[in-house]
Structure 1
Amino acid sequence: MNTNYIVRLTKTMLLAFFGFYALFVAFGNVTDYNSNFMFVQHVLSMDTTFEGNSLMYRAITSPALHHTGYILIIITEWFIAFACLFGAGKMLKQLKGSAEAFHEAKKWGMIGLLFGIAVWFLGFQVIGGEWFAMWQSEVWNGLTSAFRLTTYISTTIVILMLKES
């Protein structure tokens, strides 16, 4: 095995690992719906933020909107899982292909990772953390997890963007 093959295999596996992560998250959210639904419900309701904060006008207290938001997150997680795993499969098939063919095979994985950034950075850190003031909650605060995931996704994006010679 030459170094280029190992580099390509590493890129492929980084993508597959995240695809499996998203798959397990989506599966868990479906099979244990209420556990993470409570998280979404509390964040959107802002019921554990600082007492008397001036941002409470942003709170969403409609159970229908809580379920809608959570279901959209779950659907997106399924999409992320399938896009990343499909992309990893395409990359796996091109491990010994040309540099151009391998680079082209990254497309679905990059799309999946972009949607991962949309969920865990835009959704959790920006919207949940800042708009719904999740950072104020000691109980329902997912910023550390979102940061960890965003860091992994971003690192994987950068690594995948590098073209082979």
Structure 2
Amino acid sequence: MLIRYSKILLTAALGALILLVAINNVTDYATNYQFVSHVMSMDQVPAGSALEWRAVASPALHRMFYAFIIAVEFSAGALILAGVWRLLLRRKAEAARFNAAKGVAIAGLALAVGLYLFGFMAVGGEWFQMWRSQPDAEQAAFRFIGCAALVLLFLGQRDD
């Protein structure tokens, strides 16, 4: 039973974290919008870079991409927390029912890992050379990937 409660607690903590990030991105929109704009416009990449053709200078596209990030964060956080609720309702059920209740939380965790791995590390980090920007958000993205992936692996283990 302790393992089940541990899975529920860690999954809830991750869901709350992702949801808080999304809320922060809405309530302090300008701060991270500026960062997304700098990354996409590649204005902090040294002039003459062979990759500067990838830059996107359109503020409308910056806003759309940032809105997409926020929407995915809200979706991931909501799925994770909805999954936590399902797990809480089945915390004392037989193993098969508890295992079956993991799906929604697993979907939210996978969405979070996908956002930070693909959206931040691949698209932001490599395509737009975010690692050349200040601050470099790849380290923060990697922390999110690590936390979400560990919780995903832990939750995904079958309960007996």
User: When the two structures are superposed, what TM-score results if normalisation uses the length of structure 1?
Assistant: 0.94
CA deviations over 1:89-138 (Å, ceiling 9, x no partner) = 1111111101011111111111101110121110000110000011122x
Structure 2 SS opposite 1:160:
helix
- Give the % identical residues: 36
Q: Does 1:53 align with 2:49?
A: yes
Q: In 2, Cα distance between the equivalents of 1:50 and 1:10?
A: 47
Q: In 1, Cα distance between the equivalents of 2:100 and 2:23?
A: 29
Structure 2 SS opposite 1:64:
helix
Alpha-carbon contact 1:42-1:140 (below 8 Å) kept: no
Structure 1 ranges of 4+ moved more than 6 A: none
For structure 1, list consecutive stretches of 5 or more residues without a partner in the other structure: none
Q: CA deviation at 1:76?
A: 0.8
Partner AA of 1:63 in structure 2: P
Residue equivalent to 1:157: 152
CA deviations over 1:3-53 (Å, ceiling 9, x no partner) = xx1100111111110110111111111111101101110110111112321
Q: Does 1:94 align with 2:90?
A: yes
User: When the two structures are superposed, what TM-score results if normalisation uses the length of structure 2?
Assistant: 0.97
Q: CA deviation at 1:162?
A: 0.7
Q: In 2, Cα distance between the equivalents of 1:22 and 1:51?
A: 35
Q: In 2, Cα distance between the equivalents of 1:26 and 1:164?
A: 31
Structure 1 SS opposite 2:110:
helix
Structure 2 SS opposite 1:88:
helix
| Paired residues for 1:75-154 under 5 Å | 75-137=71-133, 139-154=134-149
For structure 2, list consecutive stretches of 5 or more residues without a partner in the other structure: none
Q: How well do the aligned residues superpose, as a CA RMSD in angstroms?
A: 0.9
